[in-house]
Copies of this chain bind each other. A is one copy, B any other.
Amino acid sequence: MRNVLITIGYDGSGFHGWQYQPGVRTVQGVLEDALRQVCGEEIRLHGTSRTDAGVHAFGQTASFTGDFGIPAERIPVAANNLLDDIFIADATEKPEGFHARYDAVGKTYLYRVRAGGMPDIFLRNYRYQLNERLNTHKMEEAAAYFVGTHDFAAFRSAGSIVPETTVRTVYDITLASRPETSAAEIELRVTGSGFLYNMVRIITGTLVEVGLGKKEPEDMPGILDSCERSKAGHTAPPSGLWLEKVYFSEKALKDTLTGESQGVKN
């Protein structure tokens, strides 16, 4: 039995999220259809992250097993011919027992905010667009409080899956801001061991409120300690969120965190 890991990008605008649901267009559903045609047998994908409707990906990963004949390196081109708003960037043979969800040791999410100026209709599905400018220095100060191992219960939406624990480790949060003529482009990257439901979007919403002056950086420890969803900020919209990278080894994760991963695939 072969086991293949694929790395996937998709434009989430046209999907009802990752997870297969009968009768609606999901990333998993469309990918399984394409892979069935390419592999000549039914394929069941195990995705690393069940991204929500409207959330995008550059580096989602998924594994699948089977007795198909096509070499792994031929899968991307063959499948991409059948795909429109999804692409398979890479396919690699993995040992038996490997699982894209259970073997992931970390993930990086990217959240894109466009602050100030008129909303750009061409970015409506790809940014969180705000009319106001944000104080990014204060946002950076506030972000630093999330790094480390914390109970993130205040930063979790109620979802269908109730986690055993709401303790998670955030390895790094970076905030890059590029002022443009009409509006500032802000890129927030969060790397962690795992994430609660909507955790990145609630962290972003909370940081946006700091940037607007509605919350102070020093409020963050109290919000974490409260473990109450109502103390944290709003849930930023799905359109600004990208699953950027999944790590399957402590080394790949460490290389990213120390900035040594440029140009190297995990």
Contact = CB atoms under 8 A, between A and B. Distances in A.
Nearest to A86: B121
Contact of A121 (B11, B121, B122): B11
A84 B121 contact: yes
Interface string A120-135: 0110101000000000
Nearest to A83: B121
A10 B121 contact: yes
Interface in A70-104: 83-87
Contacts of A126: 122
Contact of A9 (B10, B56, B121): B121
A126 B121 CA distance: 13
A4 to B, nearest CB: 20
A248 to B, nearest CB: 23
Contacts of A118: 87
A11 B122 contact: yes
Contacts of A56: 122
Nearest to A85: B121
Contacts of A86: 121
A119 B86 CA distance: 11
Contacts of A9: 121
A47 to B, nearest CB: 18
Interface string A7-23: 00111000000000000
Contact of A124 (B84, B122, B124): B84
Contacts of A124: 11, 84-85
Contacts of A11: 121-122, 124
A124 B83 CA distance: 11
Interface in A38-89: 56, 83-87
Interface of A: 9-11, 56, 83-87, 118-119, 121-122, 124, 126
Given A11-B124, A56-B122, A85-B121, 11 more contacts: A9-B121, A10-B121, A11-B121, A11-B122, A84-B121, A84-B124, A85-B124, A86-B121, A87-B118, A87-B121, A122-B126
16 contacts: A9-B121, A10-B121, A11-B121, A11-B122, A11-B124, A56-B122, A83-B121, A84-B121, A84-B124, A85-B121, A85-B124, A86-B121, A87-B118, A87-B119, A87-B121, A122-B126
